[in-house]
Chain A
Amino acid sequence: MDATQAVAIRVTVNGERYERSVEPRLLLSDFLRQELGLSGTHVGCEHGVCGACTVLLDGQPVRACLVFAVQADGSSIGTVEGLERDDGLHPLQAAFKEAHGLQCGFCTPGILMTMVAFLDEVPDPTELEVREALSGNLCRCTGYQKIVEAVEAAAAGLGGKP
């Protein structure tokens, strides 16, 4: 068998199972967008700098542009499309809406996925911690202030929940 040929992979994305055949060189970001039609994961720089493509790979935020789709075989992936709940926006999304945490929205999916994982780990962060956690995501519009406020508001809100 020629190993440059397509490989069958199985992944669970936002709780749904998919089976696809992919070329080894296909990036996870392109797989999500092009093969699964989940274009909420954005692609900015494709070398790990901007953070727009951040997704959860088995619960951990990673750059989808720096993982090959074949490597995700057997994994569970979380993207921005999976954040919404039955009763509406995820509290972090709601906080971004409320606090004007986005303008053009290009950076937003990556920031949400980064911050969902961050707030799980640090439920009650200081402003400095929020800013450090944000350092791997570039935003060209907001100047970050509103993003920090949104994350802090979400933390305050989420703090009350079990």
Chain B
Amino acid sequence: MKPASFEYHAPDSVEEALGLLTEHGWDAKALAGGQSLIPAMNFRLARPAVLVDLNLIDELAFIRRNENGGGDGGPGPGGVRIGAMTRQRAVEKSELVAELAPLLTEMMPHIAHPQIRNRGTFGGSAVHADPASEIPAALLALDASCRVRGVEGERWVRAEEFFLGLFGTSLEPDELLIEIALPGPRELTGCAFREISRRQGDYALAGLAIRLTLDVKGRIQEARLAYLGVGGAPALAASAAAVLIGEKPTATVVEDAARTAAGELEPMEDMHASAAYRSRLVEILTREALATAAERASGSG
């Protein structure tokens, strides 16, 4: 047997799952798609004493229009809400997501392989908070909000406060991610996603998700750039954004921001690519993605 033995629970409600997590504290782990947790257990890198399987909790698997807005303390109205246990494959194929958060539709096929996306969940990838992953970067770029619940109550956390460093989030061990709210398309706003990997489905050598908002004069009002595969944590690139704010997205400005991003991030070297190569990728991908996002924002793309 590969994994160490554990106590298994498969509750069918969030309340029951929270009760189990509270009872067992640090000994327990939630099991979502298992596509990160089970490999770690097979290697015995993770040996949770108790597994709380979320797969039977139907109320956590949904994709819906965010109509009620702030009624439950969440953002909106507008945009889309995705339940934590929604399979990555379902997000990829969803027409509602294509309409309300097309950046995700563009990005999802880059995550692993179809067999893994059939099991892996949208929320599981967010909680895993791997700096090499696509979903955390997209949530940062899109200014998503995460609904988090514990037995004591719930709170909404913006992506920037949700991700805390390498594989870290602001979730407590006895809390669950419930759903994620993504704002819908806005005027004068364009998004783009780019990544380079050695093969389709491999983790990216470098990649980024961007959201760019222009003002009526065509100057950049807001720029959210989030990288994957090149930083120590899912985070926004602040210096590159600062170069863009208030400027028109001309070739020179875009070049400048791309170089700043390459300097700001400190990619690691590994067996797949040197740090210098990754920096170069950051520069090129940033330039390409910025150009696309600017085109889309001005309605010409």
Contacts and interface: CB of A to CB of B under 8 A. Distances in A.
Given A25-B6, A48-B116, A136-B114, A66 B199 contact: no
B113 A27 contact: no
Given A46-B42, A63-B116, A136-B115, A4 B35 contact: no
Interface in A1-19: 2-4, 7
A71 B53 contact: yes
Contacts of A30: 1
A51 B118 contact: no
Interface string B260-288: 00000000000000000000000000000
Interface stretch (A54-62, A86-94, A99-107, A146-154): A54-62
Contacts of A47: 39, 42-43
A132 B51 contact: no
A31 to B, nearest CB: 11
Contacts of A25: 1-6, 41
B34 interface: yes
B118 A3 contact: no
Interface string B110-144: 00111110110000000000000000000000000
Given A24-B51, A68-B38, A63 B5 contact: no
Contacts of A27: 2-3, 38, 42
B47 to A, nearest CB: 10
Contacts of A24: 5-8, 51
A73 to B, nearest CB: 8
A65 interface: yes
A23 interface: yes
Contacts of B10: 70-71
B179 to A, nearest CB: 22
Given A4-B7, A68-B38, A114 B115 contact: yes
A133 B117 CA distance: 12
A138 B134 CA distance: 23
A134 B39 CA distance: 21
A38 interface: no
Contact of A135 (B5, B8, B34, B199): B199
A136 B112 contact: yes
A158 interface: no
Contacts of B2: 25, 27, 46
A67 interface: yes
Contact of A67 (B3, B8, B34, B50): B34
B55 interface: yes
Interface string B164-177: 00000000000000
Interface string B30-69: 0000110011011100000011010100000000000000
B115 A4 contact: no
Contacts of B89: 60
B10 to A, nearest CB: 8
B248 interface: no
Given A47-B43, A66-B38, A66-B119, A135 B7 contact: no
Nearest to A74: B56
Contacts of B113: 51, 135-136
25 contacts: A3-B8, A4-B6, A4-B8, A25-B1, A27-B3, A27-B42, A46-B42, A47-B42, A47-B43, A48-B116, A51-B113, A51-B115, A54-B115, A60-B89, A62-B119, A63-B35, A63-B116, A66-B116, A68-B34, A71-B34, A114-B114, A133-B114, A135-B201, A136-B113, A136-B201
Q: Which 7 A-B pairs have the closest CB atoms?
A: A136-B113, A24-B8, A47-B39, A3-B7, A135-B200, A60-B118, A25-B3
Interface of A: 2-4, 7, 23-27, 30, 46-48, 51, 54, 57, 60-63, 65-68, 70-71, 114, 118, 131-133, 135-136
Given A3-B8, A66-B38, A132-B200, 4 more contacts: A3-B7, A47-B39, A48-B35, A51-B113
Interface of B: 1-10, 34-35, 38-39, 41-43, 50-51, 53, 55, 89, 112-116, 118-119, 199-201
